[in-house]
Structure 1
Amino acid sequence: MSSLHEQPLRRRGQREADSGTRTANEQQVSVTDTDTDTDKYEHRRETPTSISTQALEAVEQFDFYDRVIALALTFVSLFTRLYQIGKRDIVTWDETHFGKFGAYYVNRTFYHDVHPPLAKMLVGLGEFLSGHNGSFTYASGAVYPEHVNYTFQRGYVAVFGAMTVPLAYRTCRLLGFGKPAATMAASFIVFDNAMCLISRFILLDPPLLCFTAMSLLGYSGFMAQRHRAFEASWWRWLAFTGISLGLVVSSKWTGLFVIALVGLCTIEELLKMFSDSQTPAATQLRHWAARVLCLIVVPIAIYLASFGVHFALLNHRGTGDFKMPSSFQMRQWGNVVGTQPHEVSFGSNVTLRSHLPGFGLLNANGTRRFPDRDREVIAGGVPGKVVNNWWTLVSANRTWENASAPILHVHSGQLVRLAHINTGHFLRTGRSPPYNMGWDRRVFVDGNKTKSDVWDIWRIVVDREESAKSRGKLRAVTTNFRLYNAVSGCLLQATPASFPENVARKFSEVICTDANTTRSEGTLWNIEQVRDTRLKRVALRSAVKRKFLRDFLWINREMAISNNGLTTDPDKYKQAESSPWSWPLLFYPMRMGPWTDDAIKYYEIGNPVLWWASSFCCLVLYPLQLIYWAVQWQRRQISSRWQAGELLRFWDTTKLLWGGWALNYLPFYLMGRVTYLHHYLPALYFALLLLAFEIQCFVHWYMPPRAIWSVAGITILAAAGVFWMFSPLTFGWERPVAELGHLCWLPWWNVVRDQNLF
């Protein structure tokens, strides 16, 4: 069989020399023509529909030499990732975050982070296997104590990064790369300094890259089985793809870009099948069902399961409890919400939590005032537990506000005042508009025990009772209620809008809305804590059954809010942070620690030759190829170097690799959050494979068949040479950086000194 990937075609000049008498019009042929010329480079043509099972087996074949090559590349990859990995015995860069998160799994204390839990649980597993007891806090710049085997922990994570290399080789072979091109592609992964360095610390990126590579491998294997539908091997590759997608999205949300890639390719395949009238409807339905099961249900199940394990492991009070709803907190061992009075009385001191994720607890602070002439003290929401969160439930006529008075339970429909303990003011609304939403009423605190107002009075309306007790009475944690102002009838509502930094830093606005928003979660409240010596403290842990789906949705929304809150710091820009436009050009490499002469210095910089060459392929060469072939296809004139069907096989490979690069890179332009150079690495993985494929195609079109080994060898040596040149900054440089001035290939690289020209 003649294949774009395995059999070289002769050049157009050779065709013209052989034919001699061919006219100008004959030098271009229709895609449906057949060429009868024969020479040593010519082979039988095949149409796209003539791909046989034997041909697919040839593409899939992973012979002895493949195994030797893959094993050798794996050893080299492990060496580059593990060499002197324990050289710096100090908590480096984001190890302070992810090492600490891993320790939380060891001591089982709950925390909050912007990323899904799977990769962090894997980090925690590595710490557990290393013998870590969870006591070390991984403070930034701290020296690792003797009882923390940080070398093992780093090495454990590095293995994930090293495994991307054999995965890349196997993927390329499944995509139809020859052995030289597959070796070249995997070597590019080995000898990229950025991928190597990011794998040498306790971070989430190595598992992310590994699962990204697994996803591409799975889908490539599945596509190679497309003509063996519903056979065992077809199901194995499809299931492996779904599992890999679940793993990658459970590590970081950027895994959604890989899911988008597989999803788009799957939709294209199913639409082609739908347009084929020869495919029975029952068969098409089976194809749809199989993909829904493996590519949608399986990833979702893995994502849900990762949070299930996350919740099960972290069942003790921790730093992230305040981000979760009260019903979740009361089940955490050691959390004060789990042991407190369940009943509530007039005169009780309470905190009020909104059911709007991200809002937190109702708060007031005497130093935060509306910036107008009234200067009222702002009432709003804060995510943490602070002293200004406490309020006293006071009856409307103020006869039951003394904590020593007889117990009088609060019932639905009763009128109350909320007295802020620290300021002594009452929660109040009025006619003035809020800061962010001009069509509603602002909420503030004003007045005192001797100076109250009817605008202070609120009616409590119980929405539902989550415990087994009767509805109608106000209780801590389990009673969800709304607050209506007694004068205007407006509804107290938490909003996601925040005040500016100069008005009320990290303060969410609460309003009183006249709209009918009873279905809004922002209007639902519950009492999170009660302090009242008159009331009996009870264990609330079993008062409400766990609602996993609610906790799952809540934590994911909190993750999204926190992720959007990671904004750019101008002081760090071009020192650590960078914009997406600069990544393919490798404009701003990143220092990963102190840069003094006596420090061990690490520099997150890619292999410049590989980055610039792959960027040229993705940004220039491949788009131009698409434009050229689109024009030629429209004219029904494809260059004679193309055999029938080979353009489609070229498209099948490049759409996957270029699409993977684009989907893992371009969405960062739409993000408002802070971005770093290492965010480009998943896209780079696809770009390096595409680079190797384009090199193979160039040799295939313009050079003799055996030249591919020479070209691959020279290219690999060049990549290895540049890698070695920059390796001091990858393995850790202990001497003065002035000695590395020759590595400033671009004048604004801050290898030696800070110099930002852009």
Structure 2
Amino acid sequence: MNSEKALFTSSVHLQEDDTNSTNKLAHRHTGDNVLQFRDDENLEEIILKTKSLNINSQELSEWSQVFIDYINPLILTAISAFVRLYRIDSSNKVVWDEAHFGKFGSHYLKHEFYFDVHPPLGKLLVGLSGFLAGYKGDFKFESGMTYPDDCNYVLMRCFNSLFGILCTPLAYKTGVLLGYSQLTVWFLSLSVIFEMISLTLSKFILLDSMLLFFTVLAYYCLAKVHTLRVTNEILTRKGTKALIFMGFSIGCVCSVKWVGLFVTVLIGIYILYDLLIKSYQLVSTSQLNYKIYVLHWISRILTLIVYPVIIYLLCFKIHFIVLNHSGPGDGSISTLLQASLEGNTIKQGPRSVAFGSMITLRSQGLSPNLIHSHDHLYPEGSQLQQVTTYGFKDANNNFLVEFDVDSGSRGEYAVLEPLANETGNFHTLVRNGDTIRLVHEVTGCFLHAEPIPAPVSRHHFEVSCFADLDTNDLRDEWIIEISEQEKSPSHHFQNEDPEEIHPISTNFRLRHKILGCYLSSTGYSYPSWGFQQGEVACKHAFLKKDKNTWWNVEDHINSKLETPPHQYVAPEPKFWKEFILLNYGMLASNNALVPDPDKFDKLSSEWWEWPFLMTGIRLCAWGATDVKYFLIGNPVVTWSSTLALLLFMFYCLNRAIKFQRQLIHYDVFDKDWNAFLIQGIMPFLGWFLHYFPFIIMGRVKYLHHYVPALYFAILISGFMLETLIYKKANRIMSWLIYGAMYTSVVGSFWYLKDLALGMDGPASTFKHLKILSSWMV
């Protein structure tokens, strides 16, 4: 019984325990449900708060992007416009090279042909600015001359200034594309705004602002193309659009000045680098198929070669169409092109040249000017009378056609009057294969060649003028060799004898009878003793179509021959030929822009002075009543960019050492490498390409030649700030350093602003602005 009772009691306790356990479990379950419910409420509340927080962050991000994309560049552009347009009308006189480019704009408005060393686009735009301003082209644009009331020079200056203003938003957008922080982007933009060389130049009717604008545009397009290339979007619609814009910028920058070729080379290097990578992907990997590879090549060729060439050609086509009247540049263009101009001054005499005719000879080579001589002697060599090519028409271009030496020994002369020359035949026409002598009309000397080196082209023979009619020297004889006869479109002149020399239409060579060489223009220019005129030499030409040895008769006077009853209609000039000749002439004239050692040019400077601002330029007269401008850079911008260039070279050396030691890894597809390429390497290469040529070239140099190179140096400054400060220093230190840089750039400009905005009153008032003793303030 006791055992059963105990068993019963035990089971009762067990049941109670089970009940208690069940109740506890039920109670716990109920509590868990309550907690779960409360947790769900809290979770929903958190979710709601998080959702609202995400919405606010998205709105904040959108507003931030609006500032980056629109508001910030608009603010910076407004500042740029203000400093460039402020006091743009303060000087009502022709300032510095406005005397050149304003005059060229006038020629377009009057349709008068002119010659210049630069391609036509920039000057066409100057002409357009004059047209928009209602200017008729009658002002002479002489240096220091006061603008007349009918020449709205302020509007013309504002038009030019627009290109300088637009450099700022392009520089800003370039910084954004390069992946820089807004701190660095603002530094780049402020440096471009307050860079004082380009700022000052943008206030006048010049080409420098246009050149800088298209250079900045070209690099912006390159940054855009790089961004799309990295994301493999270069063959998309966006990529094609970017390539087209880059081709447009290349065509325009080269059509303003040939300095644009430097940024073209920069882009070409990048494109070749890109295509080499594509070649590697095609040959060594399976990442690229042949069809896509060919499309890459075709897209680059069409957009970056064909398209820019078309733009360049189109500028010259417009140039030829607009300038359809005779003008001051007639002496530097081909005879056919001159003949097509209204009011040309070509003296058209009889249609066949005879012995005794007075003629001028036009070269068809690298220096397409008239053969010329004057009573100055060569300082070395034969020390005889100089023979040159000259781009202006005067009496020293006139030569008379004389019989050969044998005729002279018999007393037969073609250039003497009948009373003194009873045996002369004044109707003998000059034919192919005839031997002639050419007498310089003013000095009476014969065109002559000696077997001694030419003054510049030492591998050719010297050509001079020597002796007179009383001397019979076989080295005065030249043999006519007709190369080509061009036919007139008029039926009255279709049947001209192809064996005779006809003015304008006959191209021929003059072979020296003794030496066997050909009279030639070389494309080079004499030094100052030859007045920078074109060199003439006697060269052994191996090709019959060597155009440097081709000549034609331009002016022809012979009163003893009959003049045709009908007005001669010259053959139509061929665009390609005129385009090539004009570009050759530009090249020859550029080569002739060398400093004169006998004269001191107080405006010129040397390449090593530019990065340190050792020398500036007085742009105008310096009288007390004149508004004075001194062209000099912003010291903070220029000096900091020069320092950045030095730091960048050390930075690259450090990267190279670490790469060699395998401490860092670079791969052509690597994100860091591509960022370093477009942010640092390409801008440094751009600076080098725009700077180094001026080190090696012999032409006269001025401070404003550094402007495109300085822009790329500013980009290097941004790279070094971003790399060494923004990415390395803490936030407070970064803000302090950037703030100091902003203040320095703006403060430096503010202190020197009168140099760029114009100085009124005596120059002594502004002596405090002379930071360096070499500044001529």
- Normalising by the smaller structure, the TM-score range is 0.7 to 0.9
Residues 1:634 and 2:660 aligned together: yes
**Partner of 2:103: helix, strand, or coil?**
helix
| Equivalent of 2:266 in 261, 266, 274 | 261
2:178–2:675 CA contact under 8 A, matched in 1: no
Residues 1:288 and 2:302 aligned together: no
1:218–1:238 CA contact under 8 A, matched in 2: yes
**Partner of 1:157: helix, strand, or coil?**
helix
Distance 1:160 1:230 in 2: 31
Q: Displacement, 1:246?
A: 0.6
| Equivalent of 1:322 in 331, 342, 345 | 331
Count residues with an aligned counterpart: 688
2:368–2:581 CA contact under 8 A, matched in 1: no
Aligned to 2:644: 617
Q: Displacement, 1:670?
A: 1.3
- Bigger shift: residues 168-177 or 513-522: 513-522
| Equivalent of 2:377 in 351, 368, 372 | 368
1:382–1:506 CA contact under 8 A, matched in 2: no
Residues 706, 274 of structure 1: alpha-carbon distance in 2 compared, 3 angstrom cutoff? farther
Residues 706, 521 of structure 1: alpha-carbon distance in 2 compared, 3 angstrom cutoff? same
Q: Displacement, 1:697?
A: 2.7
Partner letter of residue 386 of structure 1? Answer: D
**Partner of 1:584: helix, strand, or coil?**
helix
Partner letter of residue 330 of structure 1? Answer: A
Aligned to 1:529: 555
Distance 2:454 2:197 in 1: 49
Aligned to 2:393: 385
Aligned to 1:49: none
What does the per-residue CA deviation read over 1:34-73, in whole Å, with 9 as the maximum and x for residues that have no partner?
xxxxxxxxxxxxxxxxxxxxxxxx99x9635420111111
| Equivalent of 2:199 in 183, 188, 196 | 196
Task: Please show how residues 599-610 of structure 1 align to structure 2 within 5 Å.
Answer: 599-610=626-637
**Partner of 2:374: helix, strand, or coil?**
strand
| Equivalent of 1:726 in 752, 757, 760 | 752
2:460–2:538 CA contact under 8 A, matched in 1: yes
| Equivalent of 2:695 in 669, 681, 693 | 669
Q: Displacement, 1:253?
A: 0.7
Q: Displacement, 1:705?
A: 4.9
| Equivalent of 2:714 in 684, 688, 697 | 688
Q: Displacement, 1:166?
A: 0.6
Unpaired segments ≥5 residues, structure 1: 1-57, 752-758
1:370–1:377 CA contact under 8 A, matched in 2: no
Q: Displacement, 1:427?
A: 3.4
Task: Please show how residues 65-104 of structure 1 align to structure 2 within 5 Å.
Answer: 65-104=68-107
Distance 2:358 2:65 in 1: 70
- Bigger shift: residues 212-221 or 333-342: 333-342
2:367–2:522 CA contact under 8 A, matched in 1: no
Residues 1:567 and 2:594 aligned together: yes
Task: Please show how residues 90-239 of structure 1 align to structure 2 within 5 Å.
Answer: 90-226=93-229, 227-239=232-244
1:112–1:319 CA contact under 8 A, matched in 2: yes
| Equivalent of 2:441 in 397, 400, 421 | 421
Partner letter of residue 434 of structure 2? Answer: Q
Distance 2:599 2:373 in 1: 33
Distance 1:437 1:189 in 2: 44
1:339–1:539 CA contact under 8 A, matched in 2: no
1:340–1:538 CA contact under 8 A, matched in 2: no
What does the per-residue CA deviation read over 1:659-694, in whole Å, with 9 as the maximum and x for residues that have no partner?
222221222111111111111111111222332232
Residues 547, 158 of structure 1: alpha-carbon distance in 2 compared, 3 angstrom cutoff? same
Q: Displacement, 1:116?
A: 0.9
Distance 1:198 1:343 in 2: 53
Aligned to 1:476: 503
Residues 221, 481 of structure 1: alpha-carbon distance in 2 compared, 3 angstrom cutoff? same
Residues 178, 361 of structure 1: alpha-carbon distance in 2 compared, 3 angstrom cutoff? same
Normalised TM-score (structure 1): 0.84
Aligned-residue identity in percent: 33
Distance 2:528 2:258 in 1: 28
**Partner of 1:142: helix, strand, or coil?**
coil
| Equivalent of 1:356 in 360, 365, 370 | 365
| Equivalent of 1:582 in 595, 609, 628 | 609
- What is the root-mean-square deviation in Å for CA atoms of aligned residues? 3.0
Distance 1:384 1:130 in 2: 32
Distance 2:527 2:211 in 1: 35
Partner letter of residue 624 of structure 1? Answer: F
Q: Displacement, 1:167?
A: 0.8
Distance 1:538 1:732 in 2: 62
What does the per-residue CA deviation read over 1:711-744, in whole Å, with 9 as the maximum and x for residues that have no partner?
5444323321211111111111113333333323
What does the per-residue CA deviation read over 1:107-126, in whole Å, with 9 as the maximum and x for residues that have no partner?
11111111111111101110
**Partner of 2:200: helix, strand, or coil?**
helix
- Bigger shift: residues 154-163 or 61-70: 61-70
| Equivalent of 2:311 in 283, 294, 302 | 302
Residues 1:556 and 2:583 aligned together: yes
Q: Displacement, 1:485?
A: 4.0
Residues 1:410 and 2:418 aligned together: no
Distance 2:395 2:224 in 1: 58
Residues 445, 147 of structure 1: alpha-carbon distance in 2 compared, 3 angstrom cutoff? same
1:440–1:512 CA contact under 8 A, matched in 2: yes
| Equivalent of 2:484 in 443, 461, 464 | 464
Aligned to 2:346: 337
**Partner of 1:462: helix, strand, or coil?**
strand
1:332–1:338 CA contact under 8 A, matched in 2: no
Q: Displacement, 1:414?
A: 2.7
Distance 1:440 1:637 in 2: 59
1:343–1:535 CA contact under 8 A, matched in 2: no
Residues 229, 418 of structure 1: alpha-carbon distance in 2 compared, 3 angstrom cutoff? closer
Distance 2:393 2:581 in 1: 18
Residues 1:591 and 2:618 aligned together: yes
2:752–2:769 CA contact under 8 A, matched in 1: yes
Residues 454, 185 of structure 1: alpha-carbon distance in 2 compared, 3 angstrom cutoff? closer
**Partner of 1:163: helix, strand, or coil?**
helix
What does the per-residue CA deviation read over 1:486-523, in whole Å, with 9 as the maximum and x for residues that have no partner?
45655333444655655x54455544456656443332
Residues 729, 539 of structure 1: alpha-carbon distance in 2 compared, 3 angstrom cutoff? farther
Distance 1:683 1:430 in 2: 46
1:349–1:531 CA contact under 8 A, matched in 2: yes
Residues 483, 65 of structure 1: alpha-carbon distance in 2 compared, 3 angstrom cutoff? closer
- More contact order relative to length (CA 8 Å, sep ≥ 6): 1
Distance 1:514 1:694 in 2: 56
Residues 701, 485 of structure 1: alpha-carbon distance in 2 compared, 3 angstrom cutoff? closer
